[in-house]
């Protein structure tokens, strides 16, 4: 059973409606936007101010941490004052982790309770235990006894519950049976969902959050598949947790949330940024707007299947031919995706050549340059770019005869659009690239690949690359178009590489600003790379070549496809945070951001810290007010360091483990 109605078109998953106060989630409702306060919950005035600030910028659901009973008791005056300020229609959510007693207090005052099944009535010790079936059943009965009172009270009061699984806070019981996997995340949630269902409680929303978008996407897909088997249709809350700040945080959030929304999954979203919460709202609104635009496209009735051969629950990179492009770039299954930038014309080459020589681009080089060619006269003006191969984007009027006498460097790629009625033209171009030791990139929709199959088989795929510059008519988005392209190539037995081109024609255009372009690039490129598809990447919606280059590398890093700088896992602030996360993250980034290949977690407290940063190399975690704990992997190695000393101690730890080098000179 598939997790979605189609991987090629956005067809919204049907769910039943869950009411959070007066706000409906799922059903026919739009994607609801939510965020979280960062103040100490017991500072009632500050928390109310933050609730109002969020509401005023369009937040539809506001979450507040309630780590203990005292904080949960403060939700009563917060709810009263927020309502008195004119926001009685906006529901409040209590974020609960370890204490059922805090949940039982909070449910009296707010419209929704979020519980984390990994630590609600559980403690994570990273303990290795063997559970017999009888032991496991006793654990489940203990959970039933702990969670049932909240479910019954929520049912009586008309409250909603979110069962919010976090990848990094799976219980030891789940970890020992299912491992640190998407399946473990799903099973953790289903244990609690079945308890709720045993009491006839249906006002439940589920989430599967992780700091790694690939893990998060797989977990949501698997959850939906498992629920569908059991006839469950609960709404989903989407989010990438600990995504970080700035461009990187927005990219990670867009990859995870956007890819699932394009699959038709998701009913409420939060973009978690290590910034003031109000800055999360416009990002979430922009992502949701693209999903809403796709939902408005009529469902075309065509003969294409609803799914493809890609396993959506396990990552496996698509097998492709090895291709050498120019002197320095090789693409193939063992190589990271290559990055190209597009120039507006041949005349732009000299200035581009100068800017691409910057030492700052050593770790993020321009590997390929796309140059539009509209006449043979322009071929004589081409200039070699050191270290970069050239893609000549040929106008439709240029033939192989026009190119036959041109002295093109070995490894040059010819990019041309082909139609189904051009088998002879295609054969002529393949013959040309063989004779001149070139490569050919075919820009054509999947249906054309199928139509040209006989010619393609005759000549083979060893010098070919396939790409799209527009969304095929029978797909509602370019992500679906590229999935179909990969399937068309598989069907004819081709292993040619696929080039992901982000163009205006492949974008879900709802706005024209940089954030909109970033989201389009993150969803298309990140979603495909998460499927294991993609060997070259270009972001051509960004006119400035250097800006395009930076964005491409950031998307690749966010998708886990290529590491060119330090990877930061940084949680958003909340009332549990024990230090100023924003300034601390910016300060540590400034000192360590040059450490290519190092994954560093900056976590505000120990609730999600040790677990969510489990795959980080090093961790900087709030242990107490003004005190920092330092981790190597899952192991805390230094406790309660004064924060004034913590940065230097972190750098010393990096040096001790051989992961430090001095930043390059400007």
What pLDDT, on a 0 to 100 scale, did the predictor assign at position 144?
A: 94
Structure tokens at 660: 């430090």
Residue with tokens 């393949």: 430
DSSP state string for 406-462: --PPTT-EEEEE--TT-HHHHHHHHHHHHHTT-EEEEE--HHHHHHTHHHHHHH-ST
Q: DSSP for 476-535?
A: SSHHHHHHHHHHHHHHTT----EEEEE-GGGS--S--SHHHHHHHHIIIIIHHHHTT--S
**Cα–Cα dist 253/115, whole Å:** 22
Band (490; pLDDT cuts 50, 70, 90): very high
How long a stretch of residues is the chain?
A: 666
Distances (CA, A) of 46 to 53, 71, 575, 622: 11, 13, 11, 22
Cα–Cα distance between 460 and 431 in angstroms, integer?
Answer: 11
β-bridge pairing 413-417 and 439-443: parallel
| For the chain, domain boundaries | 18-295, 323-558, 567-656
When pLDDT is cut at 50, 70 and 90, the band that residue 612 belongs to is low
Q: Give the other-Cβ count within 10 Å of 547's Cβ.
A: 14
Handedness of CA 56, 61, 66, 72 (dihedral sign): positive
- Residue 97's pLDDT band, with cuts at 50, 70 and 90, is confident
Structure tokens at 255: 């990859």
Q: Which residues contact 472 (CB under 8 A, 6 or more apart)?
A: 445, 446, 447, 481, 484
Number of CB atoms found within 10 A of residue 428's CB = 15
The helix/strand/coil state of 24 is strand
3-state class (DSSP) for residue 465: strand
pLDDT recorded at residue 384: 66
Q: What pLDDT, in 10s, does the model give residues 139-192?
A: 889 999 999 999 999 999 999 999 999 887 888 888 888 888 999 999 999 999
Q: Does domain 567-656 have CATH number 3.40.50.300?
A: no
What count of other Cβ atoms lies within 10 Å of the Cβ of residue 183? 18
The reply to whether 567-656 shares the fold of 18-295 is no
410 pLDDT above the threshold of 80: no
Dist CA 119 CA 169 (whole Å): 7
Structure tokens at 183: 């399946």
pLDDT above 60: residue 609? no
Among residues 274, 245, 276, which one has the least CA distance to residue 572?
274
pLDDT in tens, 28-74: 999 999 999 999 999 999 999 999 999 999 999 999 999 999 999 99
Identify how many contiguous H helices and E strands the chain contains and give both numbers: 23, 25
Order across the sheet with 112-115: list the strands: 204-209, 160-166, 112-115, 92-96, 61-65, 32-36, 268-269, 237-238
Which residues 6+ apart lie within 8 Å of 475 measured at CB? 8, 9, 481, 484
The mean pLDDT of 110-136, rounded to a whole number, is 79
- Looking at 7-11, 171-175, 359-363, which range is the least confident one? 359-363
May I ask the CATH class of domain 323-558? alpha beta
State in words which class domain 18-295 has: alpha beta
DSSP state of 363: S
For the purposes of burial, counting CB atoms within 10 Å of the CB of 271, is it exposed (0-12), middle (13-18) or buried (19 or more)? buried
Q: Across the chain, what does the average pLDDT equal?
A: 91
- Res 314 pLDDT > 90: yes
Calpha distance 331→215 (Å, rounded): 25
Show contacts of 560-564: CB within 8 Å, 24+ apart. Answer: 560/212, 560/213, 560/214, 560/529, 561/336, 561/337, 561/529, 561/534, 562/336, 562/337, 563/596, 563/597, 564/363, 564/364, 564/596
Q: For 497-520, what is the mean pLDDT?
A: 94
d(CA 241, CA 253) in angstroms, rounded, equals 8
DSSP conformational letter for 628: E
Q: Which residues contact 105 (CB under 8 A, 6 or more apart)?
A: 66, 69, 72, 73, 75
- In angstroms, the Cα distances linking 554 to 7, 119, 265, 275, 541 are 25, 33, 25, 19, 15
Average pLDDT for 432-440: 94
Confidence of residue 610 (pLDDT cuts 50, 70, 90): low
- Name the most confidently modeled range: 112-126, 145-159, 639-653: 145-159
Q: Is the CB of residue 641 less than 8 Å from the CB of residue 629?
A: yes
Question: Is pLDDT above 60 for 455?
Answer: yes
DSSP structural state of residue 115 = E
What is the pLDDT, as a whole number, of residue 357?
A: 78
Average pLDDT over residues 543-552: 94
Q: How many CB atoms lie within 10 A of CB 8?
A: 25
Specify whether the backbone of 58 is left (phi greater than 0), alpha (psi in -120 to 50) or beta.
Answer: left
pLDDT value of residue 494: 96
Q: Which two tokens stand for residue 417?
A: 């659009």
pLDDT of residue 540: 97
């Amino acid at each position: 059973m598939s997790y979605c109605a189609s991987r090629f078109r956005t067809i919204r998953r049907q769910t039943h409606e869950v009411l959070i106060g007066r706000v409906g989630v799922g059903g026919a409702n739009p994607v609801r936007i939510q965020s979280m306060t960062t103040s100490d919950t017991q500072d009632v005035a500050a928390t109310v101010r933050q609730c109002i600030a969020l509401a005023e910028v369009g937040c539809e659901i506001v979450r507040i941490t309630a780590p203990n009973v005292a904080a949960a008791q403060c939700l009563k005056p917060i709810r009263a004052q927020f309502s008195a300020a004119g926001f009685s229609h906006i529901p409040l959510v209590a974020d609960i982790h370890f204490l059922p007693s805090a949940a039982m207090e909070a449910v009296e005052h707010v419209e929704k309770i979020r519980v984390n099944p990994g630590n609600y009535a559980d403690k994570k010790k990273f303990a290795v235990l063997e559970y017999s079936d009888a032991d496991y059943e006793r654990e489940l009965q203990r959970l039933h006894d702990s969670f049932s009172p909240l479910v019954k009270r929520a049912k009586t009061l008309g409250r909603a519950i979110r069962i919010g699984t976090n990848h990094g806070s799976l219980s030891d019981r789940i970890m020992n049976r299912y491992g640190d996997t998407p399946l473990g995340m799903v099973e953790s949630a289903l244990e609690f969902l079945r308890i709720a269902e045993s009491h006839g409680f249906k006002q439940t929303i589920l989430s599967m959050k992780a700091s790694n978008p690939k893990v998060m996407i797989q977990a949501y897909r698997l959850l939906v598949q498992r629920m569908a088997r059991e006839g469950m249709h609960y709404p989903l809350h989407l989010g990438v947790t600990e995504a970080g700040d700035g461009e990187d945080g927005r990219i990670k959030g867009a990859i995870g949330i956007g890819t699932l929304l394009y699959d038709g999954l998701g009913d409420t979203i939060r973009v978690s940024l290590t910034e003031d919460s109000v800055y999360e709202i416009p990002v979430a609104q922009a992502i949701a707007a693209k999903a809403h635009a796709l939902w408005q496209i009529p469902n075309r009735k065509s003969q294409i299947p609803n799914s493809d051969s890609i396993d959506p629950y396990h990552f496996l990179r698509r097998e492709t031919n090895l291709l050498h492009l120019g002197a320095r770039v090789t693409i193939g299954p063992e190589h990271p995706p290559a990055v190209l930038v597009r120039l507006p014309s041949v005349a732009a080459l000299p200035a581009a050549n100068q800017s691409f020589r910057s030492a700052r681009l050593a770790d993020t080089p321009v590997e390929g340059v796309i140059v539009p060619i509209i006449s043979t006269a322009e071929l004589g003006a081409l200039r070699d770019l050191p270290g970069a191969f050239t893609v000549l984007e040929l106008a439709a009027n240029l033939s192989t005869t026009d190119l036959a006498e041109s002295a093109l460097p070995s490894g040059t790629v010819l990019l041309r659009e082909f139609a189904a009625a051009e088998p002879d033209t295609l054969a002529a171009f393949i013959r040309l690239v063989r004779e001149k030791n070139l490569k050919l990139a075919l820009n054509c929709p999947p249906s054309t690949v199928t139509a040209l199959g006989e010619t393609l088989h005759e000549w083979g795929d060893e010098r070919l690359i396939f790409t799209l510059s527009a969304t095929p008519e029978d797909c509602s988005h370019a992500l679906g178009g590229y999935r179909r392209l990969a399937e068309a190539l598989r069907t004819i037995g081709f292993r040619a590489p696929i080039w992901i081109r982000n163009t205006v024609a492949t974008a879900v255009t709802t706005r024209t600003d940089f954030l909109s372009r970033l989201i389009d690039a993150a969803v298309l490129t990140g979603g495909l790379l998460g499927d294991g598809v993609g060997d070259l990447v270009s972001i051509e919606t960004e006119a400035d070549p250097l800006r395009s280059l930076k964005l491409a590398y950031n998307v690749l890093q966010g998708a886990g496809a290529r590491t060119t700088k330090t990877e930061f896992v940084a949680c958003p602030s909340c009332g549990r945070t024990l230090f100023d996360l924003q300034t601390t993250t910016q300060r540590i980034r400034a000192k360590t951001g040059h450490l290519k290949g190092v994954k560093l977690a900056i976590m505000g407290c120990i609730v999600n810290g040790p677990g969510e940063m489990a795959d980080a190399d090093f961790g900087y975690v709030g242990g107490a007010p003004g005190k920092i704990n330092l981790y190597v992997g899952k192991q805390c190695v230094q406790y309660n360091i004064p924060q004034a000393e913590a940065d230097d101690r972190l750098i010393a730890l990096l040096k001790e483990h051989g992961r430090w080098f001095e930043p390059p000179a400007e």
